[in-house]
Amino acid sequence: MERGMMKRQYRDVVVWDAERTAAERCDVITEGDRITSILPAGTLDSGCAYEGRGKMALIPGFVNAHGHAAMTLLRGLGEELPLMEWLQERIWPVENGLDGDLVKAGTKLAILEMLSTGTTCFADMYFFMDRVAEAALECGMRCGLSRGIVGDSDGSKLKENLKLADDFNGRDGLINVQLGPHAPYTVPMELMKEIANTAKDTGLGVQLHWLETSSEWSISGLEGKMTPEDYLAETGMIDVPNLLLAHCVWIRPQESAFYARDNVTFAHNPKSNLKLGSGIAPLPAYLKAGVRVALGTDGAASNNRLDIWDELRFAALTQKGVNKDPTLVASAEALRMATVNGAIGLGFRDVGLIKEGYRADMILIDLDQPHYVGWDCENLSGFLVYAGSSSDVKGTVVAGKMLYQDGDFVFADRKRITEEAAEARRKLTAR
């Protein structure tokens, strides 16, 4: 242990993660940003540790595997319009007025919301990403960042994305940078090939919107020429070091096996897909084929919450209902999607489990409440997903630091951040 490295102890907490079949009462020690010991409950002396009393769950923090954080400033704009009208008339004109300061203000607002609902790591694809990185570092939040690349005839956006990687990849152990080609209908195929090659040369991952709407493939101009899977093979995207495909609503279920690869993760966004009328992803087919699926909220303008707890419940319940099969998408599977699967998708191979050597990204959930009566170590995942909610989060720990505790943001000024965001919103929508 390095001198001065912060050590924290959690006594008699109820530990669950996706590698356990049942929860277990344990003591947990973190040193610096890592989990260093997991001991039988009650081993540690009382008084010098956070006391769980066997009534506080400690699970991995949620990973929000797809989003556009600063869209918190656009929440509520153009509600319930058709997708293209919403984008073209309400969202894009406002986004044209964004600058670095506004994006940073909106991102900090998003980070407050995510921390208070149990998210410890978020994916972001947007603009002014150096300011997003600053916001994350100032708050101590983990993230996977990509510069959204649209068009890019002069190559300046790809350059900007690479500069983001030079400046921020690996910073404070918190940031992984990905390349961010927006979608096959906004990025020419030659550029998509170039980005795939760049990813292979640099070892960077890629975030890509993929088959979000039923019309996406015809809009891309590729319909009738090649299948989406041929496109991923032809551009080389399927072979990049780490490919995070957002949405995946319209993949043909019979093609699921193509995506069951160690370097590929889907970011499933059930609430955004419902709200924008994009459809319902054939999630059971993906899971059956062995595809790694994570959960995301998408931007606050199309959700409208950045609360993974909602995604857990929508992912698990929607499939049961539409397929008339209550055995689909079990609660433990949904929690796996929301934790370790998202971490892997963003290139963090030591995040998302409560395990010695893993990063100490975790949340504390108060089980001493009326709606948890009857929980036990075997049924905990079901209680969390079907009865729990983000209001049960009592602590959010990122890289060993408790950033949110009992309603307060320990290292962030809630009042200032919300006031700055409100002012940013006024500026942005007044233009």
* Minimum CB distance to Ni ion, residue 70 (Å): 12
Residue nearest to Ni ion (CB): 298
* Minimum CB distance to Ni ion, residue 126 (Å): 9
**Closest C-alpha among 342, 246, 248 to residue 298:** 246
Output 95 or 298, the one with its CB closest to Ni ion: 298
Query: Which residue in the block uniquely carries the two structure tokens 């690479």?
Result: 162
Output 142 or 182, the one with its CB closest to Ni ion: 182
Output 14 or 143, the one with its CB closest to Ni ion: 143
* Minimum CB distance to Ni ion, residue 271 (Å): 12
* Minimum CB distance to Ni ion, residue 232 (Å): 18
Is the peptide bond between 304 and the residue preceding it cis, with omega within 30 degrees of 0? Answer: yes
Output 57 or 70, the one with its CB closest to Ni ion: 70
Rg (CA), the chain: 21
**Closest C-alpha among 47, 37, 48, 33 to residue 15:** 37
Output 298 or 311, the one with its CB closest to Ni ion: 298
* Minimum CB distance to Ni ion, residue 300 (Å): 11
For residue 328, count other CB atoms closer than 10 A to its CB. 19
Output 91 or 385, the one with its CB closest to Ni ion: 91
Q: Interface residues for Ni ion in 272-311 (CB under 5 A)?
A: 298
Q: Which two tokens stand for residue 337?
A: 């999607």
Cβ-based burial of 248 (10 A; exposed 0-12, middle 13-18, buried ≥19): buried
- The 8-class DSSP code of residue 417 comes to H
Pairing state between β 119-126 and 408-409: unpaired
* Minimum CB distance to Ni ion, residue 269 (Å): 7
The b/e string for 262-300 (b: 16+ C-beta within 10 A; e otherwise) is: ebbbbbbbbbbbebbebeebbbbbbbebebbbbbbbbbb
Q: Which two tokens stand for residue 338?
A: 């929301």
CB contact at 8 A, 8 and 29: yes
Output 65 or 141, the one with its CB closest to Ni ion: 65
Number of shown-chain residues binding Ni ion (CB under 5 A): 1
| Measured distance CA(146)–CA(124) in Å, rounded | 6
Query: Which residue in the block uniquely carries the two structure tokens 């609360």?
Result: 307
Q: Packing angle between helix 156-168 and helix 189-202, nearest 10 degrees? A: 20
* Amino acid in position 136: A
Q: Interface residues for Ni ion in 35-54 (CB under 5 A)?
A: none
Residue 25 half-sphere exposure toward CB, CA atoms < 13 A: 14
Output 128 or 404, the one with its CB closest to Ni ion: 128
* Minimum CB distance to Ni ion, residue 72 (Å): 14
Output 74 or 385, the one with its CB closest to Ni ion: 74
| Interacting residues with Ni ion (CB under 5 A) | 298
